[in-house]
Structure 1
Amino acid sequence: MAKMSMVFVLLLLAGCGNEPPLSLRVMSFNIRFDNPDDGPNAWPQRREMASGLIREVNPDVLGLQEALLHQIEQLQDDLPEYAWFGVGRDDGQSAGEFSPIFYRKDKFELLMQETLWCSETPHQPGLGWDAVCNRVITWGGLRDRGTGKIAVIFNTHWDHIGENARLQSAVLLRNEVAKVIPGEYVVVTGDFNCPPGSPPYRHLVAARENGGEPVLFDSRKRSLQAPQGPTGTFNAFGPEAVRPEPIDHIFVGEGISVQRFATLDKAVNGRMPSDHFPVVAEMVCQ
Structure 2
Amino acid sequence: MKVMTFNLRCDFFLDFNNRWDERKKLVFDVINKYNCDIIGTQEATKKMFKDISDNIETFNIIGNPRSKKLFSERNDILISKKHSIIENKTFWLHDNPEKYGRSRWYSMFPRICTTAIVELENSKRIRICNSHLDFLLPQARAYELKKLSEFIKKEQEKEELPLIIMGDFNSNPNSKLIKEFINGDVFNKRLVAVQDKKKELYNKATMGNFKNKEKGSHIDYIFVSEEFEIIDVEIVKYNVNGKYPSDHYPLMAEISIK
Q: TM-score, normalised by structure 1?
A: 0.82
Letter of the aligned partner of 1:250 in structure 2?
A: I
Q: 2:226 aligns with which of 254, 257, 272?
A: 254
The SS at the match of 1:121 is: coil
Q: What is residue 108 of structure 2 aligned with on the other side?
A: 132
Letter of the aligned partner of 1:35 in structure 2?
A: F
- Measured after TM superposition, the shift of residue 266 of structure 1 is 2.2
Number of aligned residues: 255
Aligned: 1:101 with 2:77: yes
CA–CA separation in structure 1 for the residues paired with 2:126 and 2:144: 22
Letter of the aligned partner of 2:178 in structure 1?
A: Y
Q: 1:195 aligns with which of 172, 189, 195?
A: 172
CA–CA separation in structure 1 for the residues paired with 2:216 and 2:13: 28
Quick check: which has more Rg, 1 or 2? 1
The SS at the match of 1:239 is: coil
Moved more, 57-66 or 116-125: 116-125
Q: Gapped runs of 5+ residues in structure 1?
A: 1-23
Q: What is residue 38 of structure 2 aligned with on the other side?
A: 61
Letter of the aligned partner of 1:247 in structure 2?
A: I
CA–CA separation in structure 2 for the residues paired with 1:208 and 1:230: 24
Deviating beyond 4 angstroms after TM superposition, the runs of 4 or more aligned structure 1 residues are 225-230
CA–CA separation in structure 1 for the residues paired with 2:176 and 2:140: 11
CA–CA separation in structure 1 for the residues paired with 2:191 and 2:49: 28
Does structure 2 retain, via aligned residues, the 8 Å contact 1:84–1:103?
yes
Aligned: 1:269 with 2:241: yes
Does structure 2 retain, via aligned residues, the 8 Å contact 1:86–1:138?
yes
CA–CA separation in structure 2 for the residues paired with 1:227 and 1:26: 20
- Measured after TM superposition, the shift of residue 127 of structure 1 is 1.6
Does structure 1 retain, via aligned residues, the 8 Å contact 2:202–2:218?
no
- Measured after TM superposition, the shift of residue 39 of structure 1 is 1.1
How has the CA–CA distance of structure 1 residues 227 and 279 changed in structure 2, closer, same or farther, with 3 Å as cutoff? farther
- Measured after TM superposition, the shift of residue 121 of structure 1 is 2.2
Q: 2:27 aligns with which of 50, 67, 86?
A: 50
Aligned: 1:74 with 2:51: yes
Q: Gapped runs of 5+ residues in structure 2?
A: none
Q: What is residue 236 of structure 1 aligned with on the other side?
A: 209
Letter of the aligned partner of 1:185 in structure 2?
A: P
How has the CA–CA distance of structure 1 residues 159 and 184 changed in structure 2, closer, same or farther, with 3 Å as cutoff? same
- Measured after TM superposition, the shift of residue 63 of structure 1 is 0.3
Q: TM-score, normalised by structure 2?
A: 0.90
CA offsets, 1:97-136, max 9 Å, x none?
000001011x211111111112232221222252111111
- Measured after TM superposition, the shift of residue 255 of structure 1 is 0.6
How has the CA–CA distance of structure 1 residues 128 and 244 changed in structure 2, closer, same or farther, with 3 Å as cutoff? same
